Structure formats: structure tokens, C-alpha cells
Amino acid sequence: MTLHGTARSQAAAPTTAKAAPGADGPGPRRRLGRRHREWIAAGLFIAPDALGLAVFVGLPMVLSVVLSFFQVSGFGSYEFVGLGNYARMMDDPLFWESMRITGVYVVVLVPLLFVVSLGLGLLVRQRVPGVGVFRTLFFLPYVISLVVVGLLWKFMFDDQVGVVNQGLRAAGFAGHSWLGDPSTALYSVIAVFVWVMMGYYMIIFLAGLQEIPREYYEAARIDGAGPWTQFRTITWPLLRPTSFFVLLMSTVAAITGGFELVFVLTEGGPANSTSLAIFYIYQQAFVFGEYGYASAMGTVLVLAMLLCSGAIFKATRGGRFDDDR
Amino acid sequence: MTDRARWALTALTGVLAVAAFFPVLWMVTASLKPRDDVNDGRLVPHDVTFGNFAYVFTEVPFARYLLNSFVVSAVVTVVALFLHSMAAYALARLRFPGREALFTVIFSTLLITAPVVLIPLFVVVRQLGMLDSYAGLIIPSIFNAFGIFLLRQFYLQLPRELEEAAIVDGCGHWRVYRSVVLPLSKPILSALAIFFFLANWNSFLWPLVATNDPDLTVVQLAISSFQSQYAASWNYILAAAVVAAAPMLVLFFGFQRQIVESVKTSGLK
């Protein structure tokens, strides 16, 4: 490291008049050396992570686009087909159906998850006895894997013996084949996803709510503002950064995170009603070996996701996201 | 707020919390029921049996699957935290040209989540000859900008005087990182450690595409294929599910504060 440091500062020497090797005053030489040592240290500190990210994140991102122009057959034969995969996508009703299902999924899930977790966040912000236990109970499902969650709800949603239908029948309603009926399967998957994730976003909302100074509410109360006015004039505007974060994260999570639930709960069925784009892409690639075609669809999905993120960013004016204080 | 309203809100919260927790409880108690009772619709088992668990462990090498998951999750967690904290330290505390640009590039990879680039990642890992190996399970899971991002935010808040003093004392950047910054980051490192372990223990999609070898099966894959094998034997499936979830539930009750802190940090900063 020291060796390189010296080599680098010497190489840079001609640009700075006073730091010629051998004949330098201690002041400038040391400053230059220190700065360059800092650059090199930074390089060494970052290199392993940067290399890994480049190979396992950056390269795949680029490759995703490259692969989309090839027809790839099972064991590594690549044939350039230009926009062939994209043309094929245009004519593939199942792809469009999967994008439509993803759209419905996101449009129903994201607002529902938002409202439920904000509601829970407001409830568990109360300083009441037992609230710590309640927070724990709401948050707990989040630590369970989506595969286990899928199995658990498959058991609960079972037509005949599931506790959901047993409960409905006990209450005098008819049972329903929640996962077996194409008109309800997607909404059942959404309900399960909300159940898993609501505790996570509840905590994030809670953290945002706790940043709002209590004095604001006290002042509002003195002015005679009711709970609704307090929410509308204090909580809602001051929570905007958190809301932005939750919207963005849950949209990305919804587009990509439905996979395990669909895999375990419905396998895309019945009648393809839960075949989310991410699931359809997985099937094309790893069941049918269509890596090129699946990459083309993946690329379109990434673009759609970036568009969504951009739209959310615009609509909420970004909130505070990075450290731009 | 009136006392009555407060009381009503508390009751409402309690009822909702119990309802939210109910499915987990239902899974655990059902896994303790004998086969004939598993669908009896009772929360409290009539007969309690641990036979389902014994069956799961003897019928399939579940201990091996648990070990695989543990090894993968632990190695990813340790290596990731080490590399991420180094990178984050440099990005937050060292001055070098292109620092902001580099951070922006790293940060932007956060928007592209793994499942979407699954196919090209699979192709890369296959070209590197890492399919069906621990390396293939572990190495790609290490690199994720989320950890770098959170650690960088943490390091930005450290007072500069600490490292200035160390540098005046003649410490190199490595010593500063090792002896000053790392000890200070214990809280965030422990929070992130649990978060990473959790995420990797629960991961399913990558192991699903990256491994075929039964010796490399991780626990999430195992319960998924167990389910298709024992389709209607819910007592066994739920016992397997409880086994897969138990370490996380234990971890959760042990380190709840850290988990909640890491979630909070991820949302606030």
C-alpha cells in the first residue's frame, strides 16, 4: 500500500510544481502523499464490494438486455435474433395477461398495504398498556419466510377443511374455494402478502410518526383540533418522506416479491389467474429453458418498474430519500 | 382523548393484533396434532404429539437442510458485513475523486432487485462454474447495496474528531477502520447481521434455480418439495414449516430490538 502510494504520488508529481521527487519541501509533499494515500485506501476498501457488485449485479443488468436479443437453447447455444424475442412478446397473450395481472396486483396491493400499515402504525403509536406486545404480534409474520407463509395459508384457505371456510360456515356463510376460483385467487394472494408485510411497514410508519414532535399535537389540541384535523394538518404532511419510501419500496416488493407466494399457493393458477409477470418469466426461463425470451420479458418488467418508481417519485416529489438534508 | 376512546382504541388494537398473530399460532398448534385431528378446527390440540416432528426428521434429512441453510446464511452475513462496512467507510469518510458518482451508481442498483435479473445472474454463475455449489449459493447473495447504503448513512454521522485524532496519532486508514470505526458500529452491525441472516435463511428463489444437488438443498426448498411429496398430510407439512420457521422465531424473540431497529433505520435515513 505504501509502495503504491509513493508510486502514485510520483506519477502525479509533474502536475504539481513543488512536489518533484527527491527535492520536495516536507509540507506540500506530505499533503499530496496523504491525499493520494487516501485515494488508494478508498480504492482498496471499496474494491471487493465494487467488484462483486459489478459481476453479480451490474453484469447481469447489462446481460439482461444482451440476452434479450438472443435465442438461447438449453445448454449454451446462442443465436442472435435481433428484436425477435420482443416481437414474440407482442404476440404472446400470456405475457400481456401476466403484465395485466401484475398491474392489478400492484394497484390493489400497494394502496391496501399502505392504508393497513399506516393504520396499524397510528394505532401502535398510542401510549397504552400492552402496546409493545401488540407491536410484536403485528410484526411477527414478517420474520417468517414466504414459503412457510404460503404453506400456512394454503392450509388455512383449503376448500373443505381450511379454518377460513370452517369459520365462515360456523358464522352461517357459505364456504368458498378461495384459491381455486380464478376470480378470487389473486385477491387471496394479495391478502396473504398484506398479512406478511404490514408489520414491516407498520414499523417504518411508526418510526416516521415518532419523528413528529409531540408539541405540534399538543398545540393543535389547545387550538381545538380534533383527531381528523390533527391527522390532516400535522401527521399527513410531515409523514410525506415516509409515505414516499413506503410507496416506492412496496411497489418494488410487490412486483418482484410475489413469486414465492404464487409458487407455493397457486402455481400461477387457476386458469393463469395468478400468473404474475415474475412467475411467468421464471417459468419461461427455468421450466422451458427460454433464457433469451425470458430476458426480453425481464427487461420490459425492469423498465416498467423504473417507470413506476419514476412516477411515484414525481407524484410525491421525492420526499426526503437520500441524505439531502 | 377521553378515557373511553383510549380504552376502545386499545381494545381494537389488541383484537387486531391477536387476529394478525392467529395464523402463526394456528400453524404451531396444528403441527402438534395427530394426523386425524389436524383438520378438526380446534385451536388447542386434543392430543399433543411430537410424532410429526420426529417423522419429518427421520423421513427426509431435515437436519442436513437446516445445516445447509445455517452455513449459507452465516457465511453470507459475516462476509457481507465485513465487505460492506469497509466500502461504506470509504464512501462516507474518505475523500477521493468520483466518490459521489460511485455512490450514486451503487445506490441505483438497489432499484433493480434480484429476481428481475435472475436469468442473467444464473447465466453468469453458470459460466463461472458455480452452479450446484456452496459458492454459487453464497457468493452472489453477498453483494447487495442495501447494507452499504445503511452503513454509509451510519458512518456519515460519526464525529470526524475521532478519526482525526487517530490519524494524528499516526494510524493508517485500516487502523482507523479496524480500531475506531468498527467498534463504534457494533449496534448497526448487529442489527444488520440479524437482518441479513433472516433474509438469507428465508431466501428461496435463488437456491431454487442455482442448485439441484440434494446435498445442497436449503430448508426453504426442502419444505416446498416436502409439500408436493406429502400433499395432503398437513400435520407433517406444518411440522416441517414450523421447523423452518422456528430459528427465525427464536431469533426474533431474542433480538427483537435489533430487528426493529434495522427496519426503522432502513426507512428513516
- State the CATH number of the domain containing residue A223: 1.10.3720.10
Residue A314 forms part of a structural domain = yes
Cα angle for residues A110, A203, B87 (degrees, 5° grid): 95
Residue with cell 435472475: B118
Mean pLDDT of chain B: 88
Residue A114 forms part of a structural domain = yes
Cα angle for residues A90, A95, A98 (degrees, 5° grid): 145
Contacts of B151 in chain A (CB under 8 A): none
**DSSP conformation letters of A207-254:** HHHHTS-HHHHHHHHHTT--HHHHIIIIIHHHTHHHHHHHHHHHHHHH
Residue B205 has pLDDT above 50, yes or no: yes
Residue A25 forms part of a structural domain = no
- Rounded CA-CA distance B176/B162 in Å is 9
Residue A2 forms part of a structural domain = no
Helices and strands per DSSP (H, E), number in chain B: 15, 0
Please indicate whether, in this complex, the C-beta atoms of B118 and A155 are within 8 angstroms of each other.
no
By Cβ distance, the residue of B18, B173, B198 closest to A38 is: B173
Question: Residue B23 has what pLDDT?
Answer: 94
Question: Closest chain B residue to A161 measured between Cα atoms?
Answer: B39
Residue A236 forms part of a structural domain = yes
Lowest mean pLDDT among A23-27, A51-55, A193-197, A284-288: A23-27
Give the burial class of B171: count Cβ atoms within 10 A of its Cβ; 0-12 exposed, 13-18 middle, 19 or more buried.
middle
Which residues form the domain of A205? Answer: 88-324
Please indicate whether, in this complex, the C-beta atoms of A322 and B107 are within 8 angstroms of each other.
yes
The dihedral over CA atoms of A314, A315, A317, A319, expressed in degrees to the nearest 10, equals -120
Residue B217 has pLDDT above 90, yes or no: yes
| Cβ–Cβ < 8 Å for A199, B17 | no
Please indicate whether, in this complex, the C-beta atoms of A46 and B248 are within 8 angstroms of each other.
no
Domain B62-265: CATH superfamily, name plus number: MetI-like (1.10.3720.10)
pLDDT per residue over A219-276, tens digit each? 999 999 888 999 999 999 999 888 988 998 898 888 887 889 999 999 888 988 999 9
pLDDT per residue over A281-305, tens digit each? 999 999 998 999 999 999 899 888 8
Residue A50 forms part of a structural domain = no
Query: What average pLDDT does range A127-134 have in this prediction?
Result: 86
Q: SS3 letters for B36-103?
A: HHCCCCCCCCCCCCCHHHHHHHHHCCHHHHHHHHHHHHHHHHHHHHHHHHHHHHHHHHCCCCCHHHHH
The dihedral over CA atoms of A22, A24, A28, A33, expressed in degrees to the nearest 10, equals 10
* pTM of structure: 0.87
Residue A26 forms part of a structural domain = no
Residue with cell 368458498: A176
Residues in chain A: 325
H or E element at residue B9: helix B3-30
Q: What ipTM did this prediction achieve?
A: 0.91
Half-sphere exposure of B264 (CA within 13 A, CB side): 15
Please indicate whether, in this complex, the C-beta atoms of B120 and A67 are within 8 angstroms of each other.
yes
Beta strands in chain A (DSSP E): 70-73, 77-80
- Rounded CA-CA distance B256/A270 in Å is 38
Break chain B into its structural domains and give their ranges: 1-49, 62-265
Please indicate whether, in this complex, the C-beta atoms of B145 and A152 are within 8 angstroms of each other.
no
**What ranges in B94-144 are assigned the alpha helix state H?**
99-108, 118-127, 134-142
Residue A38 forms part of a structural domain = no
Contacts of A195 in chain B (CB under 8 A): 20, 23
